[in-house]
Amino acid sequence: MAPRDRSRRGVHVPVCVLVWGLVVGPWVPPGLLAAAAARAGAPDVDEVVAKVQAMCAKTQDLSARFRQTVTNRSLGAVRQGGGSFMLKRPGKVRWEYEKPEPRLFVTDGKTLWDYSPVDKQARAQALDEVFSSRLPLAFLAGDCQLRRDFAIAAVDHAATRGSASFMILDLTPKRPEAGIARMLLEVNLQGYTVEKTTLFDAAGNTTVIALTDLKLNSGLSDQQFQFTPPAGVTVVPPPSR
């Protein structure tokens, strides 16, 4: 019996959200964060956006652990996963699930590989053919101009009002973007780093990504973004256009 072709399942999840890891920096202990921010006073939205963009612009490589929660609004279904994440500019990404089952998405900046060890299948596709939006490729290349692409406001509710430790930014694309209707970024107000990202699609489904154990500009090797299908793996051709 031929192996099941599940190479397309779930591809849109990492492809849509991996780029937002570009604006994430080193994790800061909450106690230090609150104390330092309280001394400095809470900044306004424009200042936060400018400093998040600056952090993004100076990030050349990044590695982290990730936790992902995907919620289907209409079905009320929740799916969780986690694993490791690496990024190196320009365009290199390694997004590797350890649970709920092994799955690897890796690109050297030209070709995106989707590999399922469970199904013993791998599929290669040109990176510029994967994205239906220009935003992911722009961020991978180092373009961090959030104000150009999004209308940005602060979320104001009981937990955030007057807070000196964090701010939640609400980003809405200025032009229609496939798969991205709205995005929330939870920003530390000490290092101006994004600890958590929540992505909403047009149907109201959400993908939440939280990164931990971050290492910034550590000099990742290009070899970590190369992939050769193991022996016995079926290479599935990309869908015909």
Report how far residue 111's alpha carbon sits from residue 117's, in angstroms, rounded to the nearest whole number.
19
pLDDT at residue 240 above 70? Answer: no
Greater pLDDT, 49 or 179: 49
What pLDDT does 132 receive?
59
Residue 128 three-state SS: helix
pLDDT at residue 139 above 80? Answer: no
What pLDDT does 159 receive?
55
Q: Tokens 């780093």 label which residue?
A: 193
Q: Tokens 């070899």 label which residue?
A: 223
pLDDT at residue 160 above 70? Answer: no
Joined together, the tokens standing for residue 176 give: 């229609």
What pLDDT does 79 receive?
93
- pTM: predicted TM-score of the whole model, two decimal places: 0.77
Strand partners of residue 126: 111
What pLDDT does 119 receive?
95
Greater pLDDT, 131 or 69: 69
Report how far residue 135's alpha carbon sits from residue 174's, in angstroms, rounded to the nearest whole number.
12
Residue-averaged pLDDT of the chain: 78
What pLDDT does 161 receive?
52
Residue type, 176: P
Report how far residue 135's alpha carbon sits from residue 192's, in angstroms, rounded to the nearest whole number.
21
Q: Do 193 and 26 form a contact (C-beta atoms < 8 A)?
A: yes
Phi-psi region of 87 (alpha: psi -120 to 50; beta: other; left: phi over 0): beta
pLDDT at residue 144 above 50? Answer: yes
Report how far residue 170's alpha carbon sits from residue 53's, in angstroms, rounded to the nearest whole number.
15
Average pLDDT over every residue of 87-104: 92
